[in-house]
């Protein structure tokens, strides 16, 4: 009898786990509507890569049969993807050499932690004066506890934030990333680091490291060395079906049931949403826990892709807080190289019943919680990254989590910076842009100190920023002193920018190439061969400003390699050269790419240049982003200026190439270049160097073909934006970076009284104007 019972249990387990075998399939798209048809099958598209007429994707046994039943042709690339991953992980672990200087402790599952090891790590971290408490907030289907840990202040009135991991049990890098962050924050506080101490004394940081213990334990038991691909929880549904996708099980009902194919109603699918919102004990436990707390921000970690995703996921538009979300994402983009946006703007498809939509939506039991879902790590990492990538992934996300903790209140950061030289006055200016990327308005002024770290150049200056509203930016221009006579023109100088807010000093290090340069305007059409692509010029809005564009007035085309190349080589003969680029772009993430490339052998080989806002190429086999390259992609729709040193190419003849490369589907507005210039730093002496005074600045306003008035400005003013409001408070006109002593044509403004505001390096300047 006992033998029969054991055989019955084994038989039932084999039936229940029928859909747990995973395949890597190449699915062929032969008809025009095949992609939409495939989306309607509610597959987990997170693992999908898109080719010219095919998609490669990880699917389970049932999904493989369903794809065949719907008439798709496919080729199994790997028959058992979990065993394939297990073998690859073992090969990698055998080769891995651990850095003994790193205090980070790896786990036994391909470098990742088992469930027991996760809790062991948190027990070690809890042996710290900044550990507050541990709570079992509920239980999973298989009665495993769901544990929340609190670190930071014991004062319940301090701001509370939430960080979660392992909604999906095949994403182990979410936990190692959080452990690394917490370990380092606590260690820094122990060593007296002011920032770490401030955050731990002024935040209550709640962490749920394992939201899906059953699924994680299932992967661990199935593949103890790593590689398990079970995604859902382990809810028993029928004799053949198990599991609900926890990140499709959130309410409210109208989001859970949104008409967008963002989850599956079939329990055999990886994205099965469950029978109702909050049907799963794991998500109910989290919901009830949130009811008892006062969270302002939530960070729900996932892998993979290199993205920072925010609401809405179920709706085809952004939230009323989109300005703040964009501000936070845009600040972190050059630091992490992560794309930012909604689901559709990042992963390329909508979801429903996801965590962030529920967190964001207030109801009778909780307020609005602004939430993000970072997709930590990049596409080439996959669900089970190599062991040598565990620590780099954690480090990539350290500044993200740090600024997340800061941003529950005002968070004043150095947003951007660049150096300009006034060729008329022969004076250099450091242009600084600060932003409040926190939720709260700052109520006090912020002190900023900038000083040189080089003995070759002297600067030490202090100024104050006014109180900034959430997501507000402030521009500051600093006149830089003329260097001493020993200074080599075109030298790179390192500066420290200290932002002093809430009596705490936070420092950024920046590098700038100084001092006098000459401009070579590369927008000149005679420099380029336009015969190789679709590049051209267009007029910016209703102004007279001319843009260089890859696809003037239209979206770029699919399946196009669109190049613009120098007609003839240019010799970089001077102390130094920089490339200055002012542009904006809307380029499909992961697949399409915009690049600036350089060649030193007359075009036989090209090297992509890496600017501050360049993204790391996905390496997608079907896209145009080749692994190891850098370029522009995603949706950066604000003008930004970037400079790049070309010192490694000095005294060589170079060609430059601009390119927008697109795959077979999903195009966008493309790449608009406002300015592209070479900065040439000649060999000059500063022994008798004299600057030239500049006359008083004026702006001349015209409307409906008539002169209205002139506005007189101070000598050193730098104007960043001119905006006009009507008497009802509606913004009716704006122009970025108007030049002093220029004419402004006010388009589309009728007769009446208006208010004009200039955003300048000296703060805001307000004027009243009359149009008649």
Share of the chain above pLDDT 70, in %: 95
Amino acid 714: pLDDT? 77
Rounded Cα distance, 95 and 111, in Å: 12
Q: Which residue has the higher pLDDT, 13 or 330?
A: 330
Contact yes or no for 166/175 (Cβ under 8 A): yes
Q: Is the dihedral of CA 55, 61, 64, 70 positive or negative?
A: negative
Average pLDDT, stretch 502-528? 94
Entry pTM:
0.87
Among 453, 464, 462, 470, smallest CA distance to 501 is for 464
User: In the predicted model, is pLDDT for residue 221 greater than 80?
Assistant: yes
Amino acid 425: pLDDT? 81
Q: Which two tokens stand for residue 212?
A: 């899906």
Phi, psi of 118 (to 5 degrees): -60, -50
Write out pLDDT tens, residues 327-369.
999 999 999 999 999 999 998 889 999 999 999 999 888 999 9
User: In the predicted model, is pLDDT for residue 713 greater than 70?
Assistant: yes
Among 645, 560, 654, smallest CA distance to 603 is for 654
Burial class (CB in 10 A: 0-12, 13-18, 19+), 2: exposed
Contact yes or no for 224/109 (Cβ under 8 A): yes
Domains of the chain plus CATH, in order, are 22-79 (3.30.70), 86-406 (3.40.630.10), 412-516 (2.60.40.10), 519-681 (2.60.120.260), 697-771 (2.60.40)
Amino acid 718: pLDDT? 79
605 three-class SS: coil
Phi, psi of 165 (to 5 degrees): -145, 165
Give the CA distances from residue 644 to residues 577, 596, 613, 650, 677, in Å, rounded to whole numbers and listed in that order: 9, 11, 11, 13, 11
Strand partners of residue 510 = 495
Reported as type and span, the H/E element at residue 219 is helix 213-222
Average pLDDT, stretch 736-747? 77
- How big is the CA angle at 426 (ends 423 and 429), to the nearest 5 degrees? 90
Among 305, 329, 306, smallest CA distance to 319 is for 329
Among 79, 62, 60, 70, smallest CA distance to 38 is for 70
Among 314, 514, 379, 471, smallest CA distance to 56 is for 379
Phi, psi of 234 (to 5 degrees): -120, 35
Length of the chain: 772
Average pLDDT, stretch 590-619? 95
Q: Which residue has the higher pLDDT, 552 or 52?
A: 552
Average pLDDT, stretch 56-68? 91
């Amino acid at each position: 009898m006992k033998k029969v019972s054991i055989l019955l249990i084994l038989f039932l387990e084999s039936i229940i786990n029928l859909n747990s075998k995973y395949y890597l399939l190449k699915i062929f798209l032969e008809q025009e509507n095949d992609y939409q048809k495939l989306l309607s099958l509610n597959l987990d598209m997170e693992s999908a890569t898109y080719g010219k007429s095919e998609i490669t994707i990880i699917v389970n046994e049932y999904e493989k049969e369903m794809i065949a039943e719907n008439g798709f042709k496919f080729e199994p690339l790997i028959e058992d993807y979990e065993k394939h991953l297990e073998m690859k992980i073992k090969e990698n672990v055998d080769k891995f050499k651990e850095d003994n200087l790193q205090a980070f402790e790896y786990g036994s599952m391909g470098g990742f932690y088992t469930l027991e090891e996760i809790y062991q790590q948190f027990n070690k971290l809890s042996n710290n004066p900044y550990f507050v408490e541990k709570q079992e907030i509920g239980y999973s289907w298989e009665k495993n506890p769901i544990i929340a840990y609190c670190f930071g202040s014991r004062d319940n009135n301090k701001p509370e934030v939430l960080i979660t991991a392992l909604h999906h049990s095949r994403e182990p890098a979410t936990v190692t990333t959080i452990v690394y962050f917490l370990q380092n924050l606590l260690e820094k506080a122990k060593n007296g680091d002011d920032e770490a101490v401030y955050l731990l004394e002024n935040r209550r940081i709640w962490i749920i490291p394992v939201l899906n213990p059953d699924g994680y334990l299932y992967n661990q038991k199935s593949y103890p060395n790593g590689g398990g691909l079970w995604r859902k929880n382990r809810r028993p549904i029928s004799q053949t079906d198990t599991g609900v996708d926890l990140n499709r099980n959130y309410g409210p009902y109208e989001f859970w049931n949104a008409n967008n194919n963002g989850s599956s109603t079939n329990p055999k699918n990886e994205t099965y949403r469950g029978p109702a919102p909050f049907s799963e004990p794991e998500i109910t436990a989290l919901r009830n826990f949130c009811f008892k707390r006062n969270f302002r921000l939530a960070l729900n970690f996932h892998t993979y892709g290199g993205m920072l995703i925010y609401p809405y996921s179920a709706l085809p538009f952004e939230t009323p807080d989109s300005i703040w979300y964009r501000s936070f994402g845009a600040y972190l983009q050059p630091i992490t190289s992560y794309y930012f946006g909604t689901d559709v703007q990042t992963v390329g498809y909508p979801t429903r019943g996801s965590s962030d939509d529920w967190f964001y939506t207030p109801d009778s039991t909780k307020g609005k919680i602004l939430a993000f879902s970072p997709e930590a790590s990049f596409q080439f990492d996959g669900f089970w990254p190599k062991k040598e990538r565990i620590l780099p992934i954690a480090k990539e996300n350290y500044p993200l989590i740090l600024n997340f903790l800061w941003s529950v209140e005002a968070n004043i950061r150095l947003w951007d910076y660049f150096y300009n030289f006034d060729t008329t006055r022969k004076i250099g200016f450091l242009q600084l842009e600060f932003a409040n990327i926190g939720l709260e308005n700052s109520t006090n002024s912020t002190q900023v100190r900038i000083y040189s770290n080089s003995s070759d150049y002297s600067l030490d200056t202090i100024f104050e920023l006014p109180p900034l509203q959430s997501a507000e930016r402030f521009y500051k221009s600093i006149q830089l002193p003329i260097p001493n006579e020993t200074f080599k023109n075109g030298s790179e100088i390192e500066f420290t920018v200290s932002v002093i807010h809430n009596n705490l000093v936070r420092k950024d290090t920046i590098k700038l190439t100084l001092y006098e340069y000459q401009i070579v305007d590369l927008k000149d059409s005679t420099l380029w061969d336009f015969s190789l692509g679709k590049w051209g010029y267009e007029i910016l809005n209703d102004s007279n400003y001319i843009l260089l564009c890859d696809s003037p007035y239209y979206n770029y085309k699919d399946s196009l390699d669109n190049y613009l190349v120098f007609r003839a080589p240019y010799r970089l003969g001077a102390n130094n050269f920089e490339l200055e680029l002012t542009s904006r772009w809307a380029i499909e993430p992961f697949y399409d790419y915009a690049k600036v490339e350089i060649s030193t052998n007359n075009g036989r080989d090209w090297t992509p240049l890496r600017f501050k806002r360049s993204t790391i190429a996905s390496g997608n086999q079907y896209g145009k982003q080749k692994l190891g390259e850098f370029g522009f992609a995603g949706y950066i729709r604000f003008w930004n200026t970037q400079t790049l040193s070309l010192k490694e190419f000095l005294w060589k003849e170079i060609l430059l190439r601009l390119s927008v490369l697109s795959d077979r589907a999903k195009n966008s507005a493309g790449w608009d270049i406002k300015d592209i210039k070479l900065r040439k730093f000649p060999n000059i002496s500063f022994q008798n160097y004299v600057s030239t005074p500049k006359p008083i600045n004026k702006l001349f306003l015209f409307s409906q073909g008539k002169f209205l008035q002139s506005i007189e400005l101070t000598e050193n003013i730098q104007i960043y934006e001119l905006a006009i409001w009507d008497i009802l408070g509606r913004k009716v006109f704006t122009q970025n970076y108007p030049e002093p002593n220029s004419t402004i044509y006010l388009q589309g403004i009728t007769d009446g009284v208006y208010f004009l505001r200039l955003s300048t390096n000296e703060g805001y300047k307000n004027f009243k104007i009359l149009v008649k």
